[in-house]
Structure formats: C-alpha cells, structure tokens
Amino acid sequence: MENNALLTEVMAKAQAWLDGNYNEETKNDIRRLMNADDKSELIESFYRDLEFGTGGLRGIMGAGTNRMNIYTVGAATQGLSNYLIAQFPKVAQISVVIGHDCRNNSRLFAEISANIFSANGIKVYLFEDLRPTPEASFAIRKLGCQSGIILTASHNPKEYNGYKAYWDDGAQMIAPHDENVIIEVNKVTVNDIKFKGNPLLIESIGEEIDKAFIENIKTLSLSPDSIKRNSDLKIVYTPIHGTGVMLIPRALREYGFTNIIPVPEQNVVSGNFPTVVSPNPEEPAALDMAVKKAIETDADIVMASDPDADRLGIAVKNDKDEWILVNGNQTALLFIYYLIRRWKELGKINGNEYIVKTIVTTEIIKQIADRNGVEMFDCYTGFKWIAAVIRENEGKKTYIGGGEESYGFLPEDFARDKDAVSSCALMAEIAAWAKDNGKTLFELLQDIYLEYGFGKEKGISVVRKGKSGAEEIVQMMRNFRTNPPKEIAGSKVSVIKDYETLKMTNVSSAAVSELDFPCTSNVLQYFTEDGTKISVRPSGTEPKIKFYIEVRGEMKSRQEYAQADAAANAKVDAVRASLGV
C-alpha cells in the first residue's frame, strides 16, 4: 500500500472531482474507486497528471487526472486553444486539423475537441472518419493550419488512448511549444473548458485530402518500370483493425500494384482489436494471421500497419522458403539503401542531400550514407525530432528519408510524421525492384550486409508499472549513470554518451567533449571496442525502461548469414547478462 501522505493527496484530488463540474458518469466511477478496499486503482488514476512525452498525451482510459477522459482531453484542448490564440494574434482565422484512429472513444474525443476549439473561435477541419496519422500531418500543411491534434494511442493495448499535438509544419510539438502548452493546460480548470461548440466553425474533410495525399505519395516512386513488370506482386496486407484499411490498399493500387491480398478478419475496424493481444507490428503475434494468409497464397511480401497507420511491419521469405519477420532496423536499412542507391543511379545525388536516423537506430545506416556522399543527422527517439531536422534544413538541403528502429519511416517531407501509407507503397516498390534484379527481399538484405557489414539489433523493455515502478526506473538510470560498466560482454567500453549532460567521454583518454543536440534527454549510450552499441532510456509514453543493443559481426557470403546471425544472437545474450536485463 502506498504511504498515507500520497493516499491523502489522492483522496483530496478525487474529492475535488466529486465536488466539481463533472458529469454523473465520471463521479460514479470516482465513488467506486474511493469506496474500494484496495485503493491501488484510485492512486493510479490520480497520483499525477498526464504529460506530453515523446508521443504526446497517452494513458489508460477512465476517470481521473492520470487517465484519458473527456476532461483531460478537454483541458488539453482548452490549453492548446489558449496557446494558439496567444501565439497567432495576427492570424485572422486560426485553424486546426483533427484526426483520429479506430480506438474506443477516439471519435468522441475528436468531436469534443472540435467543439472546444470552435467555441474558442478556432476553425476546425475534422476528418469525417478515422484516417492515418500521417494524413492528418499532411492536411495541416496543405490547409495552412496553425496546429492539429490526432486522437490515437498508436500501437498500445486497447485500454489506452492518446492525444498528439502538432504545430503548423505538420510535426509533433517540441520545445518550447510542447512545454508552453502544458503550462497553459495546467492553468485550466474544469470550469474553464468551453465544451459548447460553434458548428459554423467545424468543417468535415475526407476524400479531397485522401486524393491529394495519395497523389503526393505517387511522386515518390523511383522505379516505375519495375512496378509495371511486377504489378502482380502478391502483397498480403493487414491494418490490424486500424486506420490503414482506409488508405493503404488504395495507395498500393494507385502506385501500380494489382494483387493486394487482405486478411478479412483484421480488415474489421475495431478498438477492441479482437484478433490480437497487442495491435503492434513489432510483436510477432500481430502478424500471425497475415503470415498464414501469405503461406496460403504463396505471397511475395507481408505488410502490416499499426492502428493509426504510422508504423510498418513486414515479413519475407528466407532462403529456406520460411516466413521471417524483418525488424525495424532492417526495415530502415532496406529503405535507406534503396533510396540512396536509386537516387544515385538516377543522378539525383549532388552532395546536398541528407538522411536522418535516431540515436538508437543501427549505425550501418551511417556507413551507407557516408560511403555514398549523403549527410546523416542523428536525433533523439521520437519522430518529432526527425521532423525538427527536416524543418531546420528546409530550403537548404534535400531530404531523402528518415527512420527509427521502432518500425517508423518517412520517405517524404510533405508529411512530418512517420508514414506507413507511403512506406507500404515504397516497400512494395523495393520488392518489385529486387525481383526485377533477380533477388528476393531477404537476399537484398543479405547483400546490404555483405556490402556494409553485418549487424544485429535487439530491443529489450523492462516494464515497471505505477508510481513505484516509475521510481524504480529513475533509480536504474541513476545507477547506470553513476556506475557505468567498464566492459560489456568481454569488450571494453570505449565511449560513453550522456544526453542528460550532453557530454561524450572517451574512456581511455578521459577526454570529454560536447554533444551537439538541441536539448538534453535522459538517454545513456555505451560503445565498446568491438563495435557494440548499448542505449538505455526510459520510455516517454509507457511504464518501461528500454535497452537497445546493437552488435556487429562478419559475413562474407549469403551462405554465411545463418552463422553470422547465430553468433550475433550469442553476443546479444552475453550483453544482456552483462547488463543484468
């Protein structure tokens, strides 16, 4: 049981909701929590207020300050409205886009937010139905809006919902705007929220934006002849009950592919995600039904998007004709390799181009960029940081693509969030191009390793729920920071990067240099003499601490892939043992 001081504080916050201007349904839920013998759920619901992390506002749905409900969403929207009015005093009509995914209450939260924005005199472009997150980002830019929000909890379990806030460039907010919005939100009381909307300021959008978005995606194609020769490529696609069903099959068809094979059970839009435990393409089980369909139909590739269609997971056949999942680092490798190679072959590389990856994503990407004369930028985890690099270089350098290990990629700059719609179209093109060149996608991946060196990555999440879990995560980071390992899996640590202090330490010389990043972040990295890279950070959106392990190996032919992979797996296990995770 939590200590008495915390329980007293929580009871006072809950009583304030009982005494306040909240509806009866909410008050009944709070009474149930307060009267329960076990106060754990009450404490979880009220011990803190939801805050913006790397993915915005996200939490379990229910009553309380630490839950997603019409009041926490309402306060966020009212606070954002106040901030927009203060930031854009010379704009005659401030406007926003609102999008949402398939989750339970997403449409309700979207409509409530539309009412609040409009009640504050802000023009609202509300999508008529669920739409992919990247399309909403695109719409903000296309319609010239000052901001936008998307109601989604991305790939989290069904109990969750979320609220992503975007700025006028179509990217998720970063400092100072995200911090300033929170300041405004914290000022809002329930009586300040203007729930009664102005219908004259709410406009429904849909098909016209869909069409414009797909027309832009079609401009990304680099190998149209390969698509024509392989238009009947067998593509199994599943939206895992989410928004991808609205646009991805259509985008694939308009890109030139004719043989898109659905997984009917998962084409059913549902916030309960009835066929999966977790609607996350990072989880192997989420692709089980799609892989079974691929086996039945002898498909060429399996693709899956998460509920808001910003992440892409793929499966391919290996050299034994077995279906295997491609991890996020490998997916990013395929994209970057293909984009840079085709840009080069088409004469589009002139020395002013760049790519972006996050600091926890595979270092092989940097080798590809360096060897081909393309600049690479590292940034923090979260696609808002990739978008920030694009914004900083706008009009000065040419963006090729950017991605992260967590299954997100953006091959365009007309949207500013990771995009499974364009990524599905482009990955299908890569498969067609590989087939045109006598290769499978698996063989293409092997050839990348042969050319740039073999690497293996493993992500490990240690979950620690609730207040006590959050405190434990803080202590774990403190221990790693104050007692850094001297060696990992038998290899000496050569470099330590601490993004909280923005210092890089060369261990052997004790030389300390500055890291050039826009702000600090609670991330630690260790690099060892044998090329291993370890990254450690608390999640910004979930109750977990994340470890990202990358090890390097040798591979001199395709036939040595299995041997290299097995050796790398053993090395990963040794790293885990060294770290105690």
Residues with active-site annotation: 154
The upper half-sphere exposure of residue 454, i.e. CA atoms within 13 Å in the direction of its Cβ, equals 18
Is 41 exposed, middle or buried (CB count within 10 Å of its CB: 0-12, 13-18, 19+)?
middle
Torsion of CA 299, 305, 306, 312, to 10 degrees: 110
**How many helices (H) does the chain have, and how many strands (E)?**
18, 23
Cβ-contact 310, 386 below 8 angstroms: no
d(Cα 482, Cα 476) in Å, to the nearest integer? Answer: 10
DSSP string across 309-344: S-BEEEEEE-TTS-EEEE-HHHHHHHHHHHHHHHHH
CA distances in angstroms from 488 to 536, 538, 552, 572, listed in the order given: 14, 20, 14, 10
Element (H, E) at 10: helix 4-19
Neighbours of 566 (CB within 10 A): 12
Cβ-contact 326, 348 below 8 angstroms: no
* 3-class secondary structure, 546: strand
Sign of dihedral through CA atoms 162, 168, 171, 172? negative
Neighbours of 373 (CB within 10 A): 13
Structure tokens at 355: 């790519």
Single-letter amino acid code for the residue at 504: M
